[in-house]
Amino acid sequence: MDKSLIKTLKSLKRNPKVCVYTEPLWGLSMNLCLPYASVYMLALGLNDFQVGLTATIAMLSQGVFAFLSGPITDKLGRRKATAIFDFIAWCIPCLIWWRAEGFWFFAVAALLNGAMQVPTNSWNCLLIEDAEKSQITAINSLIAICGQLSVFFVPISAILFSRLTLVPAMRILYINAFVLMTIKAVLLYVISRETKMGTIRMEESRGKSLFSLASGYGPVLRIIGKSKGTIFALFVNILVGIVGLISITFWPVIVTQKLLLPDYLLPFFMIVRSAVAILFFFLVVPRLTGRFLKAPLLVGFVCLFIGQVLLILTPVEGPFQLVILCVSLLFEGFGVSFLFMLAKSLIDLYVNPEERARVQAILNMIILAATSPFGWIGGILSGISRDLPFALNLAVLTVGFFTVFVYYWKNPQPDAPVHEG
């Protein structure tokens, strides 16, 4: 971490400070569980179709809550919305996952977990709105680093898996997540204060229903429709979201069910992927200062394509199995880092800055709605062959590569600088 980030960390004031300082609790709670949720479901008797259907339910629920997140955040205020919906979206589902016995436990938890889109919005407002503008980029960097470094706690999962087996270990991790996420929600609410903009929006929203607050999206859709750049950014984010959903849901499945690797190795594979992402963050991102995003986007699609091909070709046994799988993870780490960072940058770049909040709410809802069926589709494909979800990813990545190529061929002008904040 460079000196400017350390200086920012020490100088943070109340709201940004409590948001940043409590973020590691996420790594010690949910990041120890989420990478292994799919194999936990399989161990409890769900089939591949039900695993995929659960992912689709979660995405559809997120789409609904993404649409409502703006009005809820404005009406309740940033603090209260974050506290209430963190508890609904994470703490209650953790208790359900802890005692889960079959598909309907996971379906109900997925519906509640979709409420995460509300604190995604309200927590970001709490983090940024009262911060000094000069610190916003550094604050976002600190949060990103917290998210990546948290994966180095996953050997805890490996130890539990090796000593207790998967299901009892996951039950311990989920009750641990419930406790730590509850502490996080309470600390945020008690220590933080409502932001200045939050106070204004609460007063403006007083006496208005959520429906009336959400009814002003018509003009926003027209703004989106008139911008080729926004449509391009939306399409790229949908493609990246599909690939991410399939990979998160079915990567542990192919590794444990097809390649027959033990569960306790999964955390170490996550470490490899995140280590690559951290290297990317420090070594590559500072050099992405040009005004063309075409080349980095194309490189991202190609790297992830190669990673998926290698994953499919990894032999079920033999001396080169782990070598090929780790090389696959290297390409995936770089590809995911490129695409997820750049896909977000495209939205920051092309969204109308005067209507940023409402445009981003609509875009998030569309992305989630378009992405959600692919959990169900991936489940059907995985039931036929563990390789097929990743074959679908190859098709999606090919579409993404040619989408980027054609867009910049027809629009050869350089990109404008990416907006910050």
The confidence score (pLDDT) of residue 352 equals 61
The confidence score (pLDDT) of residue 292 equals 57
The confidence score (pLDDT) of residue 417 equals 42
Residue 358 reports pLDDT greater than 70: no
Highest mean pLDDT out of 97-111, 124-138, 284-298: 97-111
CATH number, position 292? 1.20.1250.20
The confidence score (pLDDT) of residue 230 equals 83
Instruction: Please tell me whether residues 195 and 264 are part of one structural domain.
Output: no
Nearest in space to 188 (alpha carbons), one of 71, 76, 80: 80
232-259 pLDDT, tens digit per residue, is 889 999 999 999 889 988 998 999 899 9
Q: Which of 178, 206, 234 is the endpoint of a domain?
A: 206
Q: Quick one: average pLDDT of 91-110?
A: 96
- Is 8 domain-assigned? no
Q: Quick one: average pLDDT of 307-327?
A: 92
The confidence score (pLDDT) of residue 349 equals 66
Distance CA 385, CA 311 (A): 14
Distance CA 40, CA 201 (A): 42
Instruction: Please tell me whether residues 121 and 49 are part of one structural domain.
Output: yes
130-176 pLDDT, tens digit per residue, is 777 666 656 766 776 776 666 677 778 778 888 888 899 999 999 99
Instruction: Please tell me whether residues 358 and 400 are part of one structural domain.
Output: yes
Instruction: Please tell me whether residues 286 and 178 are part of one structural domain.
Output: no
| Cβ atoms < 10 Å from Cβ of 419 | 13
Instruction: Please tell me whether residues 257 and 156 are part of one structural domain.
Output: no
SS3 state at 284: coil
Instruction: Please tell me whether residues 57 and 194 are part of one structural domain.
Output: yes
The confidence score (pLDDT) of residue 156 equals 80
What residue type is 343 in one-letter code? A
Q: How much helix, strand and coil, in percent to the nearest 5, is found in the chain?
A: 85, 0, 15
Distance CA 250, CA 219 (A): 39
- Is 19 domain-assigned? yes
Distance CA 59, CA 367 (A): 10
Instruction: Please tell me whether residues 294 and 403 are part of one structural domain.
Output: yes
Instruction: Please tell me whether residues 54 and 183 are part of one structural domain.
Output: yes
- Is 7 domain-assigned? no
- In SS3 terms, 172-226 reads as HHHHHHHHHHHHHHHHHHHHCCCCHHHHHHHHHHCCCCHHHHHHHHHHHHHHHHC
Instruction: Please tell me whether residues 254 and 182 are part of one structural domain.
Output: no
218-225 helix and 356-371 helix, angle to the nearest 10 degrees: 80
Q: Which of 179, 206, 233 is the endpoint of a domain?
A: 206
Q: How many domains does the chain have?
A: 2
Sign of CA dihedral 375, 380, 383, 385: negative
Query: 330 or 221, which is more confident?
Result: 330
| Cβ atoms < 10 Å from Cβ of 418 | 16
Which of the 8 DSSP states describes residue 131?
A: S
Instruction: Please tell me whether residues 287 and 319 are part of one structural domain.
Output: yes
Structural domain harbouring 59: 13-206
Among the residue ranges 116-125, 202-211, 240-249, the one predicted with the least confidence is: 202-211
33-65 pLDDT, tens digit per residue, is 887 899 999 999 999 999 999 998 998 899 889
The confidence score (pLDDT) of residue 351 equals 63
Residue 420 reports pLDDT greater than 50: no
| Cβ atoms < 10 Å from Cβ of 206 | 8
Residue 274 reports pLDDT greater than 60: yes
Query: Side-chain half-sphere of 359: how many Cα atoms within 13 Å?
Result: 20
The confidence score (pLDDT) of residue 148 equals 67
Instruction: Please tell me whether residues 312 and 395 are part of one structural domain.
Output: yes
360-413 pLDDT, tens digit per residue, is 778 888 888 899 889 889 999 999 999 999 999 999 999 999 999 999 888 766
Instruction: Please tell me whether residues 103 and 227 are part of one structural domain.
Output: no
